[in-house]
Amino acid sequence: MPEAIELLKTRRSLKPIELIPPGPSAAEVDTLITIASRVPDHGKLTPWRFIVFEGDARLDAGAAIEAAFRAKYPDARPEQIAYEQNRLARAPLVIAVVSRAAPHVKIPEWEQVLSAGAAAMSLVLAAHALGYGASWITEWYAYDRGVLAALGLQENERIAGFVHIGRPSAPPEDRPRPPLEQIATRFAAR
Ligand SMILES: Cc1cc2nc3c(=O)[nH]c(=O)nc-3n(C[C@H](O)[C@H](O)[C@H](O)COP(=O)(O)O)c2cc1C
């Protein structure tokens, strides 16, 4: 079986804490984003963008997450607060895929959102192709406008995913996949 097919058939997510250093080099980050931006895009609107979190910047971003968490839960325990501060520092690299979908005269917003999903999936696959593991997650802070503003998102922008990337600490176990007969049908000719 060609290598690419084997990769696509065996890809599996890892949890952020299962992704360990070393993370991708600067050149590899460029490769990841180049591949992630090579997705179908009706109307060539580029309805997505990427934010890279690496090194200490991951903890700076975590400070915004922690502040929002404290505001919501003033009685939070110190270990919960520490966990929130570390949210984007569990894996060596996090790339946020930001959807910039907006009303357009011709291109449905839905299709722009789908394009951002495609960008996130291409990013995940590119990470696997480079030998890294990845985890496409959102978690609560992806929906908190205060956190998003602190991360530099405009009001009209949304998080399609925080894609966590690093070396797999161990090979992941697979999970059951839906049987083809449950998810695919052949349209019957009359
Ligand atoms: C848009 C989106 C957001 C997701 N957010 C989370 C999340 O916040 N937490 C989580 O555990 N999984 C989340 N997932 C699911 C994981 O990405 C992944 O699909 C799951 O862990 C199953 O692993 P698999 O990719 O090997 O099937 C999300 C998936 C998508 C498409």
Domains in the chain, CATH or no CATH each: 14-183 (3.40.109.10)
Nearest Cα residue to atom 31 of ligand 1: 136
137 CA → ligand 1 middle, Å: 5
Over the stretch 99-145, which tens digit does the pLDDT of each residue have? 999 999 999 999 999 999 999 999 999 999 999 999 999 999 999 99
Over the stretch 2-51, which tens digit does the pLDDT of each residue have? 899 999 999 999 999 999 999 999 999 999 999 999 999 999 999 999 99
57 CA → ligand 1 middle, Å: 24
Is residue 135 classed exposed, middle or buried when 0-12, 13-18 and 19+ CB atoms within 10 A define those classes? Answer: buried
- Written as one letter, the residue type at 95 is I
Q: Phi first, then psi: what are they for 18, rounded to 5°?
A: -90, 0
110 CA → ligand 1 middle, Å: 20
Over the stretch 21-30, which tens digit does the pLDDT of each residue have? 999 999 999 9
pLDDT for residue 2: 86
Q: Is 138 in the pocket of ligand 1 (CB under 6 A)?
A: yes
Going by pLDDT thresholds of 50, 70 and 90, the confidence category of residue 190 is confident
Question: Which residues does 166 contact at the CB level (< 8 Å), separation at least 6?
Answer: 19, 20, 21, 23, 91, 92, 93, 132, 133
- Residue to mutate (ligand 1; options 9, 13, 113; most atoms within 8 A of CB): 13
- Residue to mutate (ligand 1; options 95, 138, 141, 174; most atoms within 8 A of CB): 138
